[in-house]
Structure 1
Amino acid sequence: MLFCHHGMRSFLTRLGQCKRCYPKGENFMRLYHASTQTASEPRIVNRSPYLDFGTGFYTTTNLAQAEDFARKAFVRRGMEGAPTLNSYECDMERAGRELRVLEFSEPNEEWLEFVVHNRKQGRDKALEVDIIIGPVANDDVFTTVTLYEQGQITARAALEMLKIKELFTQILFCNDKALERLTFESARTVER
């Protein structure tokens, strides 16, 4: 099961329950994007197609994780710019009605195979979705997925190992149509 960083279930199962993730009411979710610059007009930059969910604009509901990602992006990009946390709101209920959404509500074998496929080959061009939602493979999860990917553990063992991890939600906006649903709120530099 997925949780926001305040302990509530994902928005698809209990839309609007967490007042921190939904400060303006039950439909508007707060999302974070880590970068090395302000992203007041989000766009898809094809840095690497070999990510968990493929190319797109990655966001998370987890503030601490987004801050950590911003620091890592800063180091990865040669200390250029500054670790920056961008905040957005998105009417997820409307997006769910109007866009094609692929959701992995928990880390299961389908999610695991999807992540491994994307990391090796990039997202399948035939997959016509606007938004992908599912567990984020942070450092702990990344290690487990890598062990599975390398054939050192079975899918069942990987999923058992993931049961004890605290998993948060990542939301990938796959195209410009999806990005139109994001409303920029603010950006701030994250302490290094």
Structure 2
Amino acid sequence: MKVYHGSLEVVEHPMILRPNRKLDYGEGFYTTTSEKQSKEWAERRMLEKHSDCGYVNIYEFDETKISEFKSLIFTEPGKEWAEFVLANRTQKGFTHDYDIVYGPVANDKVYIQFSLYESGVISIETLIRELKTYKLVDQYLFHTEKALKALNFIEAIKIG
């Protein structure tokens, strides 16, 4: 299966990154099965950094070997997924020991729903119901060096 990573640079050798902000599944290397989404991620970075080009990096990932890794898989938004995302985004010092985490993206467009839940305005059931109305793309987090070895770089497509 092909997975994509939007970036300002060609990333032939993915690395575990420590982001400057809290992300859905913690630190690591994020990819998606959506080429369109990875292009949008690269374009957003281009705007943030005032860059005139970016790249969609393409990798091969043999998802049949996922059982060889300690993995956490969320097939759709649910209570466990929401709690995991909130823990990663809000709990200081929170970490996990999964090699790979897969599930929906809690992007900035839907994060307001998380804020409403966290402040007690809506219930977890309402949060999940609201999130299911959005078309959420997926993401894979490769959280460990072992997991990164499962990615094989194919090519990078220049955008911009």
TM over 0.5: yes
Report what 2:50 is aligned to: 79
Paired letter, 1:82:
C
In the alignment, the residues of structure 2 paired with residue 65 and residue 150 of structure 1 have an alpha-carbon distance, to the nearest angstrom, of 29
Q: CA deviation at 1:55?
A: 0.3
**TM-score, with normalisation over the residues of structure 2?**
0.91
> Which runs of no fewer than 5 residues in structure 2 stay unpaired?
none
Instruction: Look up the match of 1:63.
Output: 35
Aligned to 2:67: 97
CA distance in 1, matches of 2:97, 2:151: 20
Show the 5 A alignment for 1:111-190: 111-121=81-91, 124-125=94-95, 127-190=96-159
Q: Distance in 1 between matches of 2:117 and 2:6?
A: 27
Distance 1:90-1:138 versus aligned 2 partners, 3 A rule: same
Aligned counterparts of 1:186 and 1:119: Cα–Cα separation in 2 = 31
Determine the C-alpha separation between the residues in 1 that align with 2:92 and 2:25.
8
Counterpart in the other structure of 1:43: 15
**What is the SS of the residue equivalent to 1:73?**
helix
Cα distance change of structure 1 residues 43 and 81 upon mapping to structure 2, 3 Å threshold = farther
Task: Give the C-alpha shift of residue 89 in structure 1.
Answer: 0.6
Identify which of structures 1 and 2 has the higher relative contact order when contacts are C-alpha pairs closer than 8 Å and 6+ apart: 2
| Kept after mapping to 2: 8 A contact 1:49/1:122 | no
Partner of 1:146, secondary structure, is helix
Residue-by-residue CA offset, 1:129-184 (whole Å, 9 max, x unaligned): 10000111123322322332333322111111112111221000001110000000
1:53 aligns with 2:53: no
Let me know the Cα RMSD of the aligned residues.
1.8
**Separation in 2, partners of 1:67, 1:142:** 21
